[in-house]
Copies of this chain bind each other. A is one copy, B any other.
Amino acid sequence: MGTGTPAQRRPMRADARRNRKRLLAEAAAAFAEHGMDFSLEEIARRAGVANGTLYGHFPTRRALLEALLGDRMRALAGTGEELLADPSPFDGLTAWTREALAHATLYRGLGAALMQAVENEASELHAACQAVLAAGDALVARAREAGEVRPDVTARDVFALVTAVAWASEQSSELQGERLLAFTLDGFRAPPALP
């Protein structure tokens, strides 16, 4: 039975691959429509497979959600790398956090999975998180060297706070999210040099 990760010994059987794809597609649709609270049974039904098949591919609800999230994360890592080209390091970082906020807002409710994947090596998402952190690290390091952020800020801090802000703006409003992000970024900014 599929483990969720690409099989190690042999490639997945053709029908299995097809079903997996359909399940993910339906899950994405349902998620976009109802947020976290969709029924797995319904996903299976809409994908035209039996209930048990879904569980074969994704043992838990979380596994399904995580598979869904993986692609997004990789995209975010990509954006981070592009933003290294931004002439202003701090602006680059700002733009990236804004992007991350948008991501997290789109995938409302999944922030928790994300935060835990960062720590948990066993998670399907861990690799994707590492990629995102690496991208963030590059941005933060560049801004630090330019003296634009406090020396003790890490990519992990940025990631955590942006995810937290996204969570908060889920609870209230997107506008509030923008506001909070602004304050947060100011907290990261280096105090003006004294000399």
Contact = CB atoms under 8 A, between A and B. Distances in A.
Contact of A183 (B118, B179, B184): B184
A107 B188 CA distance: 28
Contacts of A188: 183, 187
Contacts of A165: 161, 164
Looking at chain A's contact residues, the main secondary structure is helix
Contacts of A160: 168, 172, 176, 180
Identical copies of this chain, number: 2
Contacts of A171: 111-112, 115-116
Contacts of A184: 161, 183-184, 187
Contacts of A176: 160
Interface string A173-194: 0001001100111111001100
A112 B176 CA distance: 15
Interface of A: 111-112, 115-116, 118-119, 150, 153, 157, 160-161, 163-165, 167-168, 171-172, 176, 179-180, 183-188, 191-192
Given A115-B171, A160-B168, 15 more contacts: A116-B172, A150-B183, A157-B179, A157-B180, A157-B183, A160-B180, A161-B164, A161-B184, A163-B168, A164-B164, A164-B168, A183-B187, A184-B184, A187-B187, A187-B188
